[in-house]
A and B are shown apart, each in its own frame.
Chain A
Amino acid sequence: GENVEQHPSTLSVQEGDSAVIKCTYSDSASNYFPWYKQELGKRPQLIIDIRSNVGEKKDQRIAVTLNKTAKHFSLHITETQPEDSAVYFCAASSGGSNYKLTFGKGTLLTVNP
């Protein structure tokens, strides 16, 4: 089955700095890669996703890059703010389906004011 590795497990940055979280996956058939943000005690919420026919996608301060050859994808957050502090999860589809997602273990991002 699909295996998704996520690094780092914790990340602390100063407000205004950039943050980068990286994930690797194992299933070469994976074609959908979403990122979810989970604030403490809350539900996970989608912040950005990318499909395998695209190499990069941006949405304001958030961007995701995908390298299908190397089987890795990354989340980039620029100009971080304290409200960006949360756990971020990457995920990859498996079994050729968009719906069966395997999640990484998560990255606790702390943005210090």
Chain B
Amino acid sequence: DAGVIQSPRHEVTEMGQEVTLRCKPISGHDYLFWYRQTMMRGLELLIYFNNNVPIDDSGMPEDRFSAKMPNASFSTLKIQPSEPRDSAVYFCASSLSTGELFFGEGSRLTVL
């Protein structure tokens, strides 16, 4: 398996623009997570899904953030409108019920 695949790897955009980050989890994994990593706040859980259903979105910062998982092999994290403080590395991870997280390589977002 190729592991968790994220795109784009790097995104530079201007404040106010819409940003969409994409994730393909490892086949067979039934949990999918979106994390955000910054120097100041570390690794923060934004939302996670089980069998494509959102279970906990209490970490989503505000209404500008939304996440979907239309099927078992694809998820998106959308920020609209983006702000400079959203600049971070966004990681997608998937897992089985054992709990070990398999992270993607991350999407580095810079909002100017």
A103 touches B43 (CB 8 A): yes
What's the nearest-Cβ distance from chain B to residue A5, in Å? 11
Q: Residue among B45, B91, B97 with the most chain A CB within 10 A?
A: B45
Residue of B with least CB distance to A51: B99
Contact across chains for B99 and A49 when beta carbons are under 8 A apart: yes
**Docked-complex contact B99 and A34, CB < 8 angstroms:** yes
Cα distance A42–B103 in the bound complex, in angstroms: 10
Contact with B along A71-113 (1 / 0, CB 8 A): 0000000000000000001000101001111111110000000
8 Å CB contact of B103 from A34, A45, A105 = A45
B residues within 8 Å of A by Cβ?
Answer: 31, 33, 42-45, 48, 50, 55-56, 91, 95, 97, 99-101, 103-106
Task: Give 6 A-B pairs besides A98-B97, A100-B48 with Cβ atoms closer than 8 angstroms.
Answer: A32-B99, A34-B99, A44-B91, A93-B99, A99-B95, A102-B45
Chain A residues within CB distance 8 Å of chain B: 32, 34, 36, 42-46, 49, 89, 93, 95, 98-106
